[in-house]
Amino acid sequence: MPHWELAIFFFVIAFVYASVGFGGGSSYLALLSLYVLPFQEMRLIALVCNVIVVTGGTIVFIRNGQVAWKKILPIVLVSVPLAYIGASLPISHSAFFILLGSSLVLAAVLLWVKTQSNVEDNSRSYAHPAINTILGGAIGFLSGMVGIGGGIFLSPVLNILNWDSAKRIAATASVFILVNSLAGIAGQLSNMPADMNYTRIIILGGAVLAGGLLGSNLGAVKFSPLVIRRVTALLVLGAGINVLLKHLP
């Protein structure tokens, strides 16, 4: 049987995150880490929910011309195959949770230290293709192994580097999350256990679909992106430390 309270939590996470243009993948994993679930299922749930929540935002960014394709392509062309490889690699239960805990702690630090680029929307910025390629490949591979889209790592790093304006970085992260989540799902399908609970995945996917649609369209409710990032950083940090304490030898 699915954990029905998870559906409520996932709905709330998707609602809040979608209202400020985020996906919420790290928070889904942080929450799932509190339950005794197969880690293969945890990764698949997080990626499926990522795809559902960020697809609409990505379409909006593209329609508004905020996607800098020439700068994004070197990132995603390398990240997609490496995300697929990372997701398809066999990994032990203990190794996964140590990697997950470490990734959550790192993500929390990155979320806290820098949240805004200093580059204006009408300013020209420079990003060397080699830097884009290295960032995309490294984050894509890690994202595939852990089961997230990678935006929680990519966005803070790009902001620290003043890679582009805040809007274009948000658009880049949205595209990055979408394509890497799809690649991660494809990579995991080759290693799915026979007893996978697809009913739970469908229920949680439906919860984030409803929450994401409501959050992105309910203009009367406004959340501060800074507050969301800081609260998320604290929650993700706590979850990461909890995972490490449970699984480190």
Q: Is residue 232 part of a domain?
A: yes
Q: Residue 187: give the domain boundaries.
A: 4-116+127-247
* Per-residue model confidence (pLDDT) at position 80: 94
CB 163 within 8 A of CB 125: yes
**Residue 136 domain-assigned (yes or no):** yes
20 within domain boundaries: yes
Could you read off the pLDDT of 103-116 as tens digits, one per residue? Answer: 889 888 887 876 56
Q: Domain for residue 122, yes or no?
A: no
In a domain, 159, yes or no: yes
pLDDT at 124: 56
Q: Does residue 132 sit within a domain?
A: yes
pLDDT in tens, 151-174: 888 888 888 888 888 788 888 888
Residue 117 in contact with residue 176, Cβ under 8 Å?
Answer: no
What's the half-sphere exposure (Cβ side, CA atoms, 13 Å) at 14? 29
Please answer whether residues 240 and 42 qualify as being in contact, where contact means their C-beta atoms are separated by less than 8 angstroms: no
Residue 210 lies in a domain: yes
Query: What's the confidence (pLDDT) of residue 120?
Result: 62
Domain count, the chain: 1
| Identity at 149, one-letter amino acid code | G
pLDDT value of position 223: 62
Ranges of residues in the chain with a pLDDT under 70 are: 1-2, 19-22, 114-127, 218-225
Within a domain: 121 = no
Separation of first and last alpha carbons in the chain? 31
Measure the CA angle with vertex 177, ends 189 and 212; round to 5°.
95
